[in-house]
Amino acid sequence: MSLTPDQVKLIKATVPVLKEHGTAITAHFYAVLLKENPSLNGIFNQTNQKTGHQAGALAGSLYAYASHIDDLGVLSPAVEKICHKHASMYVRPEHYDVVGTYLLRAMGDVLGEALTPEILEAWGQAYWQLANIMIKQEDSLYKSAGPWTSWRDFRISKKIPESSQTTSFYLSPVDGKPLPSYHPGQYISVSTSVPSLHHDQNRQYSLSAAPSPDHYRISVKRESSVRTGDTTHPAYISNILHADKKEGDILQVSHPFGKFYADSKEQNNGALVLISAGVGITPMVSILDTFVQEKQERRISFMHATRSSDVQAFGSYIQDTTSTHPHITSVIFNKHPAADVKQDTDYNFACRMDLDKVDKNKDLCLDDEEAVYYICGPGGFMRDMGDRLKSFGVEEQRIKLEIFGTGNMS
Ligand SMILES: Cc1cc2nc3c(=O)[nH]c(=O)nc-3n(C[C@H](O)[C@H](O)[C@H](O)COP(=O)(O)OP(=O)(O)OC[C@H]3O[C@@H](n4cnc5c(N)ncnc54)[C@H](O)[C@@H]3O)c2cc1C
Ligand code: HEM
Ligand code: HEM
């Protein structure tokens, strides 16, 4: 059942009140939801909950939804992106019942009498209107994944260091059955037990190589400690993968999902301009590797920024690939190059990425009106690069962003 015009008005009028009490509602919502439904602990990111990102993501999307409630078309790309992430974590229709119930209960508990039955009813309708759209989209994603309908056991077949911080994991399915292909740029979720929490946690990792029927490769940066309130803990999953997981160990893996990808079968000859910083290089390496393996002649410009030589992953792979393929070029920004690396061979500029320093046509492909721009890295980096490209006249729809976190680019 859809919302009545009066309910739409009520929703819009109550957005500021809910916004004001967002943090209190969050705390209450998660505390009660997870206490009474401990099995959900394995789905929700424990670190983000404590730092408020995940709650912000949920609230932010409810808000965006509420402000476009009479014009739902506006939201669809954003909703689609959330659904890919949900699907990679195997969020199910029955979870929506639980989350909806606890969300409305938390709103009622925190807002007390200010939340009249009419307002609560309107928000319940709004929640379900959005939830039903998402459940339907997720259902079609699950169908597109064929028989792979839940977490699948993979064995770590190889563990290869790529830099002082980043390690590649080659993951082979324990059932030995061939793996489905994916679009380069997509990610998988990886789930494993976190002993200190006494339950599982999952995280997303971009696939970092061309598709192969017998293994997937991900490349994981070891994150530093996370401070939440008075306590500090090592970032959970990246540290467990680096420190505890050995070749032969088992992880649970989702089917590949995600909307940030380059389609090598697409009828578009525009250049691919791949712009990354730090571990944001992983989806770009997958795109590069796929187009090279498929012998695609599409022009590729690979631009990457690294903080220093020791943390630079895939340096020699990029060098070898560009030197053997005339249609592929690269520009490396290395803020602190080591004494033994050479300018113009190992890196090009000893600074942060600065698009004013590169060739506007050879590197930025501004002479190609069909060029597509892929950006992945820290939030500030993506914002700066996106803004600069737009100032050069690149339209928003040709710029694609991948955020290695939740919600906004914070
Ligand atoms: C689509 C996608 C693709 C990704 N691809 C890759 C990849 O290819 N390689 C890779 O290494 N990672 C990738 N990530 C990131 C990865 O999913 C994990 O987030 C990362 O490994 C950290 O997880 P963790 O469990 O080790 O850290 P967690 O325990 O989750 O904690 C670390 C995170 O907590 C947050 N945090 C820490 N301190 C604070 C604070 N004081 N305040 C607020 N927030 C704080 C930060 O977001 C930090 O990243 C990707 C993420 C997404 C969404
Ligand atoms: C139901 C209607 C709600 C609306 C309309 C709403 C609206 C908002 C808005 C607009 C913001 C700022 C978001 C941004 O800057 O992107 C916000 C922040 C926040 N909201 Fe809500 N909110 C709602 C409910 C909730 C709920 C249910 C939770 C908890 C699950 C919550 C927790 C938070 C938190 C923690 C923040 C700060 C996020 C951060 O710092 O990352 N809110 N809310
Ligand atoms: C209408 C209801 C819902 C809305 C609007 C919503 C919205 C969102 C948004 C905006 C994100 C962030 C996506 C991103 O990072 O790109 C997110 C992530 C997530 N959602 Fe939902 N969601 C809903 C229901 C659910 C349900 C039912 C579950 C399952 C119990 C769930 C579990 C999660 C988890 C685990 C994450 C990842 C959080 C993280 O990485 O910190 N959500 N959701």
Q: Are residues 9 and 100 in the same domain?
A: yes
Quick: pLDDT tens for 246-255.
999 999 999 9
Query: In the structure, what pLDDT confidence band is assigned to residue 73 with cuts at 50, 70 and 90?
Result: low
Q: Determine the pLDDT at residue 189.
A: 98
Is residue 380 one of the residues assigned to a domain? yes
Q: Residue 223's domain is classified under what CATH number?
A: 2.40.30.10
Mean per-residue pLDDT of the chain? 90
261 alpha carbon – ligand 1 mean position (Å): 20
Q: Residue 335: count other Cβ atoms within 10 Å of its Cβ.
A: 15
Domain end (from 125, 144, 163): 144
185 alpha carbon – ligand 1 mean position (Å): 17
Task: Report the nearest atom of ligand 3 relative to the CA of 40.
Answer: 30
In this predicted structure, the answer to whether residue 1 has a pLDDT above a threshold of 80 is no
Q: Are residues 14 and 139 in the same domain?
A: yes
Q: Among 66-75, 128-137, 277-286, which range has the highest average pLDDT? A: 277-286
Q: Which domain holds residue 17?
A: 5-144
201 alpha carbon – ligand 1 mean position (Å): 12
What is the distance between the alpha carbons of residues 185 and 363, in angstroms, rounded to a whole number?
A: 20
Q: Residue 287's domain is classified under what CATH number?
A: 3.40.50.80
Query: In the structure, what pLDDT confidence band is assigned to residue 407 with cuts at 50, 70 and 90?
Result: very low
Share of the chain above pLDDT 90, in %: 69
Domain end (from 86, 121, 144): 144
- Residue with CA at minimum distance from ligand 2 atom 14: 60
Quick: pLDDT tens for 186-243.
999 999 999 988 889 999 999 999 999 999 999 999 998 777 777 888 899 999 999 9
Residues with CB under 6 A from ligand 1: 45, 47, 51, 187, 203-206, 218-221, 223, 226-227, 235-239, 258, 279, 282, 402, 404-405
Task: Report the nearest atom of ligand 2 relative to the CA of 54.
Answer: 41
What integer is the mean pLDDT of 298-325?
A: 96
Q: Are residues 9 and 137 in the same domain?
A: yes
In this predicted structure, the answer to whether residue 406 has a pLDDT above a threshold of 70 is no
Is residue 265 one of the residues assigned to a domain? no
Q: Determine the pLDDT at residue 408.
A: 42
Q: Among 48, 204, 218, 400, which residue has the most ligand 1 atoms within 8 Å of its CB, making it the best to mutate?
A: 204
Quick: pLDDT tens for 21-43.
877 887 888 889 999 999 898 88
> Is 300 in a helix, a strand, or coil?
strand
Q: At a CB cut-off of 8 Å and minimum separation 6, what does 95 contact?
A: 40, 43
> Is 288 in a helix, a strand, or coil?
helix
- Tokens matching residue 256: 């590949």
In this predicted structure, the answer to whether residue 368 has a pLDDT above a threshold of 90 is yes
Q: Are residues 64 and 91 in the same domain?
A: yes
Q: Are residues 71 and 128 in the same domain?
A: yes
What is the distance between the alpha carbons of residues 405 and 221, in angstroms, rounded to a whole number?
A: 13
Tokens 């260091």, residue located: 161
Ligand nearest to the CA of 81: 3
Is residue 264 one of the residues assigned to a domain? no
Quick: pLDDT tens for 146-162.
999 999 999 999 999 99
27 alpha carbon – ligand 3 mean position (Å): 16
Task: Return the sign of the alpha-carbon dihedral for residues 83, 89, 93, 97.
Answer: negative
In this predicted structure, the answer to whether residue 326 has a pLDDT above a threshold of 70 is yes
